[in-house]
Each structure stands twice: as C-alpha cells, then as structure tokens.
C-alpha cells in the first residue's frame, strides 16, 4: 500500500512534469544570478557559494511544497487517502518520499554543475551533493507540516513560507556549514553528523505532526 502512494505521486509528477521542472529551473537561475551579478571575483564567489546554493535550495523546496497536498485536497483524493486502511503516518511518509525524489534528488544532483560557476573544487562539490542529499529530505519533511497546516487557506502560500522558513534555519546552518568547512579545510564531520541527526529526528516526528495537521485541516 505504501508502494502505491509513492507510485501514484511519482506518476502524477510525471504527468505534470512542467511543475517539477520549473522548480528546478528556479533553483538553477537563482544560483546562477550571483556569479553574474558579482563578476569574476573567484575568492568572494567561493566564500559565498555554500550559503547561496543552500538558500536557493531552501526557496526551491518551498515552491514545491504547494503541490504536496493542495491538489489532492481540492479533488477529494486526500479524503480517500485518509480513509485507507493504513496509518496516516505512512501515507504522509510516502507522499514526502515521492516529493523528495522529484525535487530534492534532482536538485542535489544538479548542484555540482552550479558549484563550478563558483570555482569550487571537486572535493567540495562532493560535500555539497552529500549535504544536499541529507538536508533536502528534512526540508520536505518539515515543509509537509506547514503544507498540511495551511491547507485550504486563502493566501496559504505566503503563510506557508513564514511558517516554514524559520524552521529551515538549522538545516541551512549545518548544510552550508559542512560545505564551508570543506572549503576552508576544516573538519566537516560535525556538521554532516548533525544534519543526519536532524534527518532522523524529523523522520520520526514530522510525519506524525503532519498527520495531526491534516486531520484538523480536513474537518
């Protein structure tokens, strides 16, 4: 049953792939604007690269959150999902997993190409991908709570960003911290371990909070 939720959401993402692609293009363009704006100052660019890529990743995953529950809510399929004979926790986890597969993973895989614009070394590019692969699922998990809470509200999109962006701060700090440490040659294990810890924590608690928020939103 869990498999069906993931398959369903991946099929839907494939059928509306323009939405998925526009999120990725957003990420690509935002990150590319900085080298163009600042000019060929390699040292400065290398310095701001971790922050820029990570902030752009944060904003891009915010954009994809709107799709998570809103469409299902409008056509009534969310009600049907709530009435399936399995814990709502798993339904939420399945939907978040599918969202991450179509937004977080391609975003992380695309980041080395963008990193080259900032003059990052091969080793740092690798750390960037690893940090994004660890961090983007957290963004999707935390974001799902906000998406569920703002379901069906007018102007929910803006409210969602106000709710969710502050919660993204730890991920931003540890994620860009790891890349930073790799540039300056300091130990990056601390940041990556903390990022992993945040991932485990949000895997346990976020779907549970999202389920509760969904039940309230659907009353």
Partner 1 sequence: MLEATSLGCVRGDRRLFTNVNFALGPGSLLQVQGPNGSGKTSLLRMICGLLAPAEGEIRWQAANIHSLGEEYFTSLAYIGHRNGLKEELTPIENLRVASGLTGTQLSHDEATIVLGKVGLAGREHLPARILSEGQRRRTALARLLICKAPLWVLDEVLTSLDSSAVRFVTSLIREHTNKGGITVVATHHEFDLPADSYQRLDLA
Which ranges in the chain belong to alpha helices (H)? 2-15, 17-38, 42-75, 77-82, 88-117, 122-149, 156-184, 189-217
**22 touches partner 1 by CB under 8 A:** no
Minimum CB distance to partner 1 smaller for 4 or for 25: 4
Stretch that binds partner 1, among 7-15, 56-64, 147-155, 156-164 (CB under 8 A): 7-15
Q: Pattern 79-118, binding to partner 1, x per CB under 8 A?
A: xxxxxxxxx-------------------------------
Minimum CB distance to partner 1 smaller for 32 or for 77: 77
**Are 191 and 177 within 8 A, CB to CB?**
yes
Buried b (16+ CB within 10 A) or exposed e, 90-114: ebbbbbbbbbbbbbbebbbebbbeb
Minimum CB distance to partner 1 smaller for 98 or for 188: 98
**163 touches partner 1 by CB under 8 A:** no
Q: Least Å distance between CB 69 and partner 1? A: 13
Q: Least Å distance between CB 144 and partner 1? A: 19
Phi, psi of 163 (to 5 degrees): -70, -45
Q: Least Å distance between CB 84 and partner 1? A: 5
Distance CA 22, CA 35 (A): 21
Q: How far is CA 29 from CA 36, 53, 190, 203, in A?
A: 10, 11, 31, 30
**75 touches partner 1 by CB under 8 A:** yes
Q: Least Å distance between CB 91 and partner 1? A: 9
Q: How far is CA 9 from CA 20, 23, 53, 74, 181, in A?
A: 12, 16, 27, 15, 37
Minimum CB distance to partner 1 smaller for 42 or for 74: 74
**Residue numbers of the site for partner 1 (CB under 8 A)?**
1, 3-5, 7-8, 11-12, 15-16, 74-77, 79-87, 218-219
């Amino acid at each position: 049953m869990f498999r069906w939720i993931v398959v369903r959401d991946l099929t839907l993402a494939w059928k509306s792939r323009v939405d998925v692609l526009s999120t990725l293009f957003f990420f690509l363009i935002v990150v590319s604007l900085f080298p163009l704006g600042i000019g060929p100052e390699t040292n400065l660019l290398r310095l701001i690269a971790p922050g820029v890529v990570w902030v752009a990743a944060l904003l891009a995953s915010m954009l994809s959150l709107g799709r998570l529950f809103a469409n299902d809510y409008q056509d009534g399929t969310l009600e049907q999902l709530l009435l399936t004979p399995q814990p709502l926790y798993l339904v939420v986890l399945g939907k978040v997993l599918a969202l991450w597969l179509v937004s977080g993973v391609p975003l992380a895989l695309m980041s080395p190409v963008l990193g080259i614009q900032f003059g990052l070394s091969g080793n740092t590019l690798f750390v960037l991908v690893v940090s994004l692969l660890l961090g983007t699922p957290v963004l999707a998990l935390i974001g799902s709570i906000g998406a569920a809470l703002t379901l069906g509200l007018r102007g929910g999109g803006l409210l969602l960003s106000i709710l969710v962006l502050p919660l993204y701060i730890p991920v931003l700090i540890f994620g860009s911290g790891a890349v930073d440490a790799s540039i300056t040659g300091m130990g990056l294990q601390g940041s990556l371990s903390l990022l992993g810890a945040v991932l485990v924590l949000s895997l346990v608690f976020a779907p549970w909070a999202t389920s509760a928020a969904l039940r309230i939103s659907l009353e």
